[in-house]
A = this chain, B = another copy of it.
């Protein structure tokens, strides 16, 4: 007989528990982001607010958008997964490790002022997420974990999206050594670029399948 990967009986109750545990971790990380926000005090609140606007509050907005997007993609991937292996569960735990680091990375982003270390650490966490994500997609394909009604283009789309993330945050690391604000702007610009890229990819795929 052929060698088979060790598949856990995770199709029912076990798959749900892994999803549930991931959701709880992501929900906590998301909610804790706002706990760290500084409260301006007394009469000088307008000046303080201006300082914060340039850093703490913007960092909170970026991190909220990032974690919400990661959750949305996690939700979409696991909608199309039908079973799990222990290897896949551990890859998912590694992904949660990067999520758990996000509130800390957000604090460090502004806590170190203009030093490059803040954006570099933040970008490294995102690069780690993207690498784990690509490994999860490849593992799901190799070990045949996809649901039967998952579209054939889904794995390709997921790898494309994670690669865009990987490039955007990876390229921002050398930029941060020059100027740490530029690195932050680069992340924001990466958003529309990857959206446009995804749209071009989809229309090509549709044209290809129409032929």
Contacts and interface: CB of A to CB of B under 8 A. Distances in A.
A111 interface: yes
Contact of A26 (B21, B39, B75): B21
**Which secondary structure dominates chain A's binding surface?**
helix
Interface in A66-112: 68, 71-72, 75-76, 78-79, 89-90, 93, 96-97, 100-101, 103-104, 107-108, 111-112
Interface in A1-56: 8-10, 13-14, 16-21, 23-35, 37, 39-43, 45
A62 interface: no
Given A21-B23, A25-B27, A31-B29, A72 B45 contact: no
Interface centre among A28, A37, A76, by most chain B C-beta atoms within 10 angstroms, is A28
Contacts of A39: 104, 107-108, 111-112
B117 A45 contact: yes
A20 B23 contact: yes
Nearest to A94: B68
A134 B41 CA distance: 34
A113 interface: yes
A25 B28 CA distance: 7
B100 A40 contact: no
A115 interface: yes
Contact of A28 (B9, B31, B103, B115): B31
Contacts of A34: 100-101, 103-104
A27 B30 contact: no
Contacts of A13: 16, 79
A133 interface: no
A169 interface: no
